[in-house]
Amino acid sequence: MHALNVDYMLGLVPILLSYLPLTLGMAAAGMLCALVLASLLAVIRVTELPGLNAFAMLFISFFRGTPLLVQLFLFYYGLPQVLTFLVSINGITATILGLTLHFSAYMAESIRAAIVGIDRSQTEAALSVGMTQGQLMRRIVLPQATRVATPTLMNYFIDMIKSTSLAFTLGVTELMGATQKEAASSFLYFEAFLVVAVIYWVVVEALSWVQKWLEQRLNRAYQR
Amino acid sequence: MIELKGLRKQFGDQVVFDAIDLQLSRGEIIVVVGPSGTGKSTLLRCINFLERPDAGQLTVGDLQVDVTRATQAQILALRRRTAFVFQNYALFANKTALENIAEGMIVVDRLSKREAHARARKILERIGLADKADAYPASLSGGQQQRVGIGRAMAANAEVILFDEPTSALDPQWVEEVLGLMKQLAAEHQTMIVVTHEMQFARDVADRVVFMDEGRIIEQAPPATLFSQPRDERTQRFLKKILAANPA
C-alpha cells in the first residue's frame, strides 16, 4: 500500500476539468434531442396514432431492451459497414446519437405516464372552448405533464451525464478517456479514478440542487 | 336560436336517448330535470360534441350540423358557439383565474394576449373575483372555482352556455354564490340550458322546465305550470320525490 499522492491529485483536477465541457456538452445535446424525440413518441403512444404507434412501441422496446454500450458499438463500428455514407461519423456524434435514442425510449414512457395522469376533465374543458387536439396538448397537457415528469427526467439527465463516460470506448477523449490516459502514464490509477469519481459526483450534486429549485418553481401553481 | 332535431346517442347497444327534439330562442333559459341516469348530462355533452351524437341535427345560431357528417371544422365551430360549465369546474390547473378565462380568447379567437387579459379582467369583475386574478385554482374555494368556470364560459361569447350540474359537487356553503351568478346571467338574458337538481333555481329562473326520463323528454312547460300541474304520471312521481327531499 502506498500513501495517497495528494499533489498529483490536485494537479490532475484542472487537467480533467478542461474535459468537462465536452462531457456536459454531449449530455446536454443528448438530453435536448431525447426530450424532443421522447415527447413525440409519448404523444404518438397516447393518441395511438395509426401506423406510428406500432413503430413507437417497437422503438421503445428495442432501445430499452438492449445495453447502451451495445447500441453505441452498433452505431459507431457496425452501421458504417452497412451504410457507407456513415463512415465519417465521429465518436462524439455517435455518442450523442446513442444517448438520444437510448434515453428517449425511457423518457417517452415517463412522459406518457405524466400525460395520462392529467385529469380528463381539463382535456374536455379545453375541447369545450374550441381548442384543437394540438392546442390542447401544447397549452394545457404538456406543460402540466412536464411538471409531473420533471423529477424522473432529471434523473435520466443525471444518468445520461454519467453514461457519456462510455464515449471513451469509441475513442473520444472526454472526462473518462482523459483520466484513463493520465492514469496510464502515471500508473497512479487509484488517485486518477478517485479524482474523476469526485468530479462526476460534484457535478451530479450540483444538478440535484438545480432539480430542487426547478421542482419548486414548477409547483408554484399548486400551492394552496 | 338553438335547435336539436332527432338527436340520438348510444354507447354500444345501450341507447341513452333517442329522437330528442328541443328548441330554444335567444335569451331563453331552460332547466332540464329528471332522475339520475336518464341522459341529461349526455344530452348537454352532445350539444357541445364532447360526446358525438349518433343521429340528428344540431342548429346553433347560423351553424347547422348533421351530426353523422360533422367535419372537424364544424365541430370546432359548434364548440365555440356552445360554452360548457362542468360539474367539477375542470379549470386548467396550470393557469391563474385570469388565464383560465383568457385562454380560449387567445388560442381560439386569436386575440392578442393584452386584449384577452383586458376582457378577462372585466369578466372577473362581473363574477366578483377581480381580486383573485392571479390566484391558481388550487388556492380557490369550490365556489370561486366554479365562478371562474362560468367566467371561462362567458368569455367564449357563445350563443348558449350549457351548465352540467354546476352546483352538485359544491360544499353547501358555496352553492348560493354560484346560483347567484347564474341568476345574474339570466337577468342579462344569457341563453342557457341548465341540468340541475336545484328546484328552487328552476322555479325562480327558468323560462321552461324540461322533464327527462329514460332518454326521452316527457314534458316541458313553464315552471309554474310544470311544478303545480305536472301532466305525466312520471313527472308527478319525480317531483313528489325530489320536493320531499329538498322542499322548494
What is the rounded average pLDDT of the residues B165-175?
Answer: 93
CB B44 within 8 A of CB B51: no
- The range of the structural domain enclosing residue A214 comes to 6-222
A121 is a domain residue: yes
Q: Do residues B96 and B142 touch, judged by C-beta distance below 8 A?
A: no
Give, for A175, the enclosing helix (H) or strand (E). Answer: helix A175-186
Per-residue pLDDT at B243 exceeds 90: no
By 3-state DSSP, what share of chain B in percent is helix, strand and coil, each rounded to 5?
A: 45, 25, 30
Average pLDDT, chain A: 91
User: Which amino acid makes up residue B37?
Assistant: G
**Range name among A97-111, A179-193, B141-155 with the lowest pLDDT average:** A179-193
Query: Which residue range is the domain that position B19 belongs to?
Result: 2-245
pLDDT at B248 over 60: no
DSSP annotation of A1 reads -
Task: Please report where in the chains the cell 358557439 appears, as a residue.
Answer: B81
A175-186 and A6-17 helices cross at what angle (nearest 10)?
150
Taking the C-alpha atoms of residue B115 and residue B120, their distance in angstroms, rounded to an integer, is 9
Whether residues A124 and B90 touch (CB distance < 8 A) is answered with: yes
Q: Note the pLDDT tens digit of each residue in B28-73.
A: 999 999 998 899 999 999 999 999 999 999 999 999 999 999 999 9
User: Does A220 have pLDDT greater than 90?
Assistant: no
* A132 in contact with B, Cβ within 8 Å: yes
Is residue A134 less than 8 Å (CB to CB) from chain B? no
B156 touches chain A (CB under 8 A): yes
B residues 33..62 contacting A (CB < 8 A)? 48, 50
- Does A219 touch chain B if contact means CB atoms closer than 8 Å? no
The whole-angstrom separation of Cα B122 and Cα A175 is 58
Residue A139 distance to chain B (closest CA, Å):
9
Q: Find the CATH number of the domain harbouring A64.
A: 1.10.3720.10
DSSP B134-179: T--GGGS-HHHHHHHHHHHHHHTT-SEEEEESTTTTS-HHHHHHHH
Contact with chain B for residue A222, Cβ under 8 A: yes
Mean pLDDT of A58-70: 95
Does B79 have pLDDT greater than 60? yes
Confidence class for position B83, pLDDT limits 50, 70, 90: very high
Whether A34 is covered by a domain: the verdict is yes
C-alpha cell at B218: 316527457
Which of A122, A130, A222 faces B90 most closely, judged by CB atoms? A122
**pLDDT on residue B128:** 94
> How many independent structural domains does chain A possess?
1
**Chain A closest-CA separation from residue B83 CA (Å):** 6
Q: Is A171 among the domain residues? A: yes
What are the angstrom distances between the C-alpha of B34 and each of A24, B41, B50, B171? 64, 11, 21, 22
Instruction: Residue A158: name the closest of A66, A53, A31 by CA.
Output: A31
Residue A29 placed within a domain: yes
Has residue A86 got a pLDDT over 70?
no
Q: Does the beta-carbon distance from A125 to B136 stay under 8 Å?
A: no
What is the Cα A168 distance to its own chain's centre? 17
Partners of A148 on chain B (C-beta within 8 Å) are: none
Longest dimension (CA), chain A: 74
Mean pLDDT of A158-170: 94
Q: In A, which residues are within 8 Å of B88 by CB distance? A: 121
Give me the helices (H) in chain B, please.
Answer: 40-47, 72-81, 97-107, 113-126, 142-155, 172-187, 199-205, 223-228, 233-245
Contacts of A95 (CB under 8 A, 6+ apart): A26, A30, A72, A164, A166, A167, A170, A172
B212/B34 Cα distance (integer angstroms): 5
Confidence grade of residue A215 (pLDDT, cut at 50, 70, 90): confident
**pLDDT of B127 strictly over 60:** yes
Answer yes or no: is pLDDT of B168 > 80. Answer: yes
* CB atoms A221 and B95 under 8 Å: yes
Residues in CB range of A73: below 8 A, 6 or more apart: A169
- What residues in A contact B152, CB-CB < 8 Å? 125, 129
What is the radius of gyration, based on Cα positions, of chain A? 21
- Here the CATH number for the domain that contains residue B18 is 3.40.50.300
In a mutational test of the A interface, the residue from B107, B139, B141, B145 whose CB has the highest number of chain A CBs within 10 Å is B107
ipTM score of complex:
0.91
Within a domain: A58: yes
CB A13 within 8 A of CB A86: no
User: For residues B228 and A156, what is the distance between their CA atoms, to the nearest angstrom?
Assistant: 67
Rg of chain B over Cα atoms, rounded to whole angstroms, equals 18
pLDDT at A1: 66
pLDDT at A217: 85
* Residue A138 lies inside a defined structural domain of this protein: yes
Domain total of chain B:
1
In chain A, the residue whose alpha carbon lies closest to the alpha carbon of B77 is: A130
CA distances to A20, A30, A68, A96, B72 from A78, rounded to whole Å, are 28, 21, 14, 16, 47
- Residue A202 forms part of a structural domain: yes
Query: Which residue is associated with the grid cell 372555482?
Result: B145
Chain A residues closer than 8 Å to B164 by CB? none
Residue A173 · residue A15 · CB < 8 Å: no
